[in-house]
């Protein structure tokens, strides 16, 4: 079962010893000054926007959007598959076992993609996360898709 998580921008304050990066495991450290749960550095290098664009063009990656369905409908990366984190475990059959998956969500501090990566790695999938999220992709002027309003 996947616990419910929300996305928060983690505060950066002077003198804070944490770098506010995450690791896709179950290990969580707590910042004693702010009380925020933070994760150590991701054990695998995240995918850059440029690398993902190349992989999209060549068809060598499956893009997984783990945001809620309404956010996906408003805009998403090209050819992205939307499986909200809360539905991920019961929808694993929709993911290819023979291709790397790149997960993304609301931005670099959103925990949804980190948790999706952890769940999928535990089940043997090759998966990494996008270095940032949909808002940064859109602001960079990169291609997006949306679901037509009915």
Q: Which residues are catalytic?
A: 105
Find out whether 59 and 39 touch, Cβ atoms under 8 Å.
no
Nearest Cα to 80, choosing from 93, 61, 107, 99? Answer: 61
Nearest Cα to 81, choosing from 44, 56, 54? Answer: 56
Nearest Cα to 109, choosing from 92, 131, 124, 90? Answer: 131
Beta-carbon-side half-sphere exposure of residue 91 (alpha carbons within 13 Å): 13
CA-CA distance, 112 to 118, in Å (whole number)?
10
CA-CA distance, 150 to 148, in Å (whole number)?
6
């Amino acid at each position: 079962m996947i616990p419910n998580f929300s996305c928060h921008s983690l505060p950066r304050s002077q003198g804070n010893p944490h770098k506010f990066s995450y690791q896709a495991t179950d290990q969580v450290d707590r910042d004693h000054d702010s009380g925020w749960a933070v994760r150590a550095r991701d054990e695998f290098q995240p995918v850059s926007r440029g690398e993902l664009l190349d992989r999209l063009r060549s068809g060598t990656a499956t893009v997984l959007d783990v945001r809620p369905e309404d956010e996906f409908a408003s805009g998403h990366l090209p050819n992205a598959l939307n499986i909200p984190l809360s539905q991920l475990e019961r929808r694993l059959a929709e993911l290819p076992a023979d291709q790397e998956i790149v997960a993304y969500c609301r931005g670099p501090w959103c925990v949804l993609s980190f948790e999706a990566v952890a769940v999928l790695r535990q089940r043997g999938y090759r998966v990494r996360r996008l270095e940032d999220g949909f808002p940064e992709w859109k602001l960079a002027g990169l291609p997006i898709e949306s679901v037509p309003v009915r």
